[in-house]
Amino acid sequence: MNWTKSFKTRPIGVIGIGSFGAAIANLLAEKNEVLVYARDEAVVEAINKTHRVKNRQLASKIRATTDPELLCEACEVMFPMIPSSAFREVMVQFAPFLHPYHFLIHGTKGLSLNLPEGKNLENISQLKRENICTMSEVILQETVVERIGCLAGPNLATELLEHQPGATVVASRYEEVVLEGQRLLRSDNFQVYGNSDIVGVELSGVLKNIIAIAAGALSGLGLGDNAKGLLVSRGMVELIHLGTAMGGCTKSFLGLAGIGDLVTTCNSTLSRNYTLGYRLAAGEKLPDIVADMEEVAEGINTVKLVKRYLESTGMRAPITENLYKVLFENFKVETALQYLMKYPSYTDIDFL
């Protein structure tokens, strides 16, 4: 079957069809033909035959393939929607078929390690900024694609799939990528903003997951809204502190991808990271929760990497540090909370 010819217009590619991938594929399918790449033959067959993937309904226009080469030939614009743990591997797999004319707009809110050969997180002495990559940096390292964008913002997949009103940010250093993203995604109840600080927007999405876990934990302890307000605001300060040190611009963190997403995920039981925190506070163990979740909570890996980064640079970030102890050192959430309350800090805002 020669698919490339069967499309009337150039289809838009979606790489990976998890919950967010499915939501974006549906949004894209409102105006375009969509071709999805999935690794699993059964998933591809299900999409092509029944237009369903894991109980999620997909638009009938959406078709799927397991062949990266076919996807790259058919599409000029593609949306990688894969967890950070598999992102690099998938890019390596796609790299031979990608060209500088491709646009890649990803929606992954996680970090990827980039270590010299023979090193791993245990035996490396210092974790520097160049060792922790955002997904756009991974794309730059592994492929020849230059025109890269990212999607970030309060985009809970479940709500998107229900066609509820919402908005997102498309960030790219290239105006043409932002415009293309807006053209493809904007609809009557979906607003799309542009931003040129791609690293800042990516980091907003990445770092807010840490605060989301902590927010879930507070709720799990049965604490009220005063505590939540405190955490969100302190979380914001920490996010900006870390984010600017890693190369983002303060303004981006105050936008939809920063504050917007932070407020959403810190209050929503639909968020995986929030749920993770909630269940931790209720006394469940991390491995049990992870085993039980359908998709990964990116926040876990982010906390791990950021904590090592903090140690290497001598920076402090109390929420991240204490959350690390809860996740990996069997600290009780209550104990961590006490540390936070005692943490000496006197100024409210010091980043503006």
Partner 1 sequence: MADDYIKHQYDPILPEKDEWPVVRLSKGRKAFIQQVVASSSEKIKSLTGNQVPALKEELELTLYRERMRIKQNPWLVDPDDEASFWSGVKSSLLSVGVDQKLTEDEKKERYLAILTGITQRYSEEIASNFKHSHYKMTRRIVTFGFSRLLNTARVKGFKSIFSNQYSLQDKIQIIGETDQLRDLASKGTIVMVPTHFSNLDSILIGWTISTLGLPPFIYGAGLNLFNIQIFAYFMNALGAYKVDRRKKNQIYLETLKTYSREAIQFGCHSLFFPGGTRSRSGNIESKLKLGLLSTAIEAQRANFQNNTENPGKVFIVPVTINYHFVLEAPGLIRDYLNHTGQERYYSESDEFSTSYRISKFLVKFFTKGSDISVSIGRAMDILGNYVDENGNSRDQHGRPIDCRDYFVSNGKVTVDLQREEEYTKKLGTRIVEEFHKINRVFSSHLVAFTAFRLIKRANSKLDLFSLLRVPEEDIHLSYETFKDACGEVLDGIRQLRAEGKLHMAPHLEMPLEEIIRHGLENVGMYHAKRPLIRTEQGHVVTEDISLLYYYHNRLDGYELDKII
Enzyme catalytic residues: 208
**Binding residue (CB under 8 A) for partner 1 from 147, 234, 307, 308:** 147
**Closer of 179 and 270 to partner 1 (Cβ):** 179
Please, which of residues 160-179 interact with partner 1 by CB under 8 A? 173-176
Q: CB 108 → partner 1: shortest distance, Å?
A: 22
What's the CA gap between 257 and 279, in Å, rounded? Answer: 25
- The reply on whether position 144 binds partner 1 by CB under 8 A is yes
Please, which of residues 81-100 interact with partner 1 by CB under 8 A? 95-96, 99-100
What's the CA gap between 312 and 250, in Å, rounded? Answer: 22
Report helix, strand or coil for 151: strand
| Number of residues lying near partner 1 (CB under 8 A) | 13
Tokens of 76: 């000029």
Tokens of 108: 């992954």
Rounded to whole angstroms, the maximal C-alpha distance in the chain is 66
- The reply on whether position 128 binds partner 1 by CB under 8 A is no
Q: CB 334 → partner 1: shortest distance, Å?
A: 42
What's the CA gap between 304 and 151, in Å, rounded? Answer: 23
Please, which of residues 22-81 interact with partner 1 by CB under 8 A? 76
What's the CA gap between 95 and 143, in Å, rounded? Answer: 5
- The reply on whether position 121 binds partner 1 by CB under 8 A is no
Q: CB 176 → partner 1: shortest distance, Å?
A: 6
- 56 Cβ partners below 8 Å, 6+ apart? 19, 22, 161
Buried b (16+ CB within 10 A) or exposed e, 303-314: bbbbbbbbeeee
Q: CB 210 → partner 1: shortest distance, Å?
A: 30
**Closer of 100 and 287 to partner 1 (Cβ):** 100
Binding interface with partner 1 (CB under 8 A): 76, 95-96, 99-101, 144, 146-147, 173-176
